[in-house]
């Protein structure tokens, strides 16, 4: 039996398939700047903090990033947030882990208010002790900071009992920076190579495979 008592889940690409809403919101924002993005390249917005994406991929300065995020949210808060679905097997996975006595929480770079709204909408909030995310102003969006915030609100001091579950290298590296293991989720937006190179302790192809490994 593994020593984990707490499982922290990423949201986008791990619990929900939220790509459509995120991409549509990013496209809406870019068009406000006269940019017509190549749709085939927009998956790069799935995972990293939003400001980082506008800065790294389009060279926006801080002021322009702030404006881009405002435009993004114009679309996201009314439409994009629900252009989203729960991955098959996720609720069964959460149920199995909860019934086995594990404590579950969410640690996402998405603003916390949106994460709570999404999980309540899909009736998944009930499985989590705490839903942790970024502030609306973009602070606390770095994965390690979100993890620290979530653990603090769950009253967890022993990090050896914690494991992160996420689909991108940000999840793995954020956890590793705190001495926490991370299980890679392959059905999301990352690749096996990406997760393996980042140092995931295991890579699961389905939610139920993740549950089986965590409980094994």
From its phi and psi, is residue 94 left (phi > 0), alpha (psi between -120 and 50) or beta? alpha
User: For the chain, how many residues are written?
Assistant: 216
Answer for the pair 110, 53: CB distance below 8 angstroms, yes or no.
no
Q: Report the C-alpha gap between 156 and 153 in whole angstroms.
A: 8
Two structure tokens written together for 171: 């999840």
Q: Report the C-alpha gap between 100 and 107 in whole angstroms.
A: 21
Pairing outcome for strands 181-185 and 202-204: parallel
Give the count of alpha carbons within 13 A of 140, CB side only: 15
Which residues form the catalytic set?
10
Phi, psi torsion values for 77, nearest 5 degrees: -70, -25
Q: Residue written as tokens 């499982």?
A: 7
DSSP assignment letter at 177: T
């Amino acid at each position: 039996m593994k020593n984990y008592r707490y499982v922290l889940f990423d949201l986008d690409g791990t619990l929900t398939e939220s790509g459509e809403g995120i991409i549509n919101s990013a496209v809406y924002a870019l068009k406000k700047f006269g940019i017509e993005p190549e749709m085939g390249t927009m998956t790069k917005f799935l995972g990293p903090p939003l400001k980082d994406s506008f800065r790294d991929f389009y060279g926006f300065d801080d002021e322009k990033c702030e404006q881009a995020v405002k435009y993004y949210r114009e679309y996201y808060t009314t439409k994009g947030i629900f252009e989203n679905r729960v991955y098959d097997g996720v609720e069964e996975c959460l149920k199995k882990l909860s019934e086995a006595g594990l404590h579950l929480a969410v640690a996402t770079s998405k603003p916390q208010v949106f994460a709570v709204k999404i999980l309540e909408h899909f009736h998944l909030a009930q499985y989590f002790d705490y839903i942790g995310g970024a502030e609306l102003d973009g602070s606390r969006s770095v994965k390690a900071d979100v993890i620290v915030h979530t653990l603090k609100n769950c009253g967890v001091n022993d990090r050896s009992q914690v494991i992160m579950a996420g689909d991108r290298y940000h999840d793995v590296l954020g956890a590793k920076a705190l001495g926490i293991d991370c299980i890679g989720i392959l059905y999301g937006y990352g690749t096996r190579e990406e997760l393996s190179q980042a140092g995931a302790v295991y890579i699961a192809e389905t939610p139920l495979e993740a549950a089986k490994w965590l409980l094994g």
